[in-house]
Amino acid sequence: MKAIGYAIRLTEDKSGNQAYATRYYFLNRFIGAQAFARAVRGHWSIESMYWVLDVTFHEDARQTSERTLANNLSWLRKFAITMLKRGMKKGESIVGRKQMSG
């Protein structure tokens, strides 16, 4: 471990209440502030995709024992998310669009 970084996230709800969350990261090399910010944003963009997959398709609850089948189903779910996101209007949800398309 070469460095420790932290990121503070500020969120605000509709009523104006603010909440802060601090996350700490252990780094195996020294990097600049801009590179660290890109790395943190990149990590959470991937995490948010997996969150969408879990909420929409309950992916964490799937227990497919055959590796090839699991990979194929995962690819199909990601493709479906991409198709559902196309042309979304403000206020629409992916789950709602999935139900409408069914």
User: Looking at the domain assignment, is residue 14 inside a domain?
Assistant: no
pTM of the model: 0.51
User: Looking at the domain assignment, is residue 80 inside a domain?
Assistant: yes
Instruction: Indicate the helix (H) or strand (E) that contains 95.
Output: helix 94-101
Residue range of the domain that includes 63: 32-101
Q: What stretches of the chain show up as alpha helix (H) in DSSP?
A: 33-57, 67-85, 94-101
User: Looking at the domain assignment, is residue 5 inside a domain?
Assistant: no
Q: Which pLDDT score, from 0 to 100, does residue 18 have? A: 92
pLDDT in tens, 23-73: 898 988 898 889 888 888 877 777 777 788 887 788 777 788 888 988 898
In this prediction, residue 81 has a pLDDT band, given cuts at 50, 70 and 90, of confident
Q: Which pLDDT score, from 0 to 100, does residue 56 have? A: 79
CB atoms within 10 A of CB 37: 13
User: Looking at the domain assignment, is residue 47 inside a domain?
Assistant: yes
User: Looking at the domain assignment, is residue 24 inside a domain?
Assistant: no
Q: Say how many domains are in the chain.
A: 1
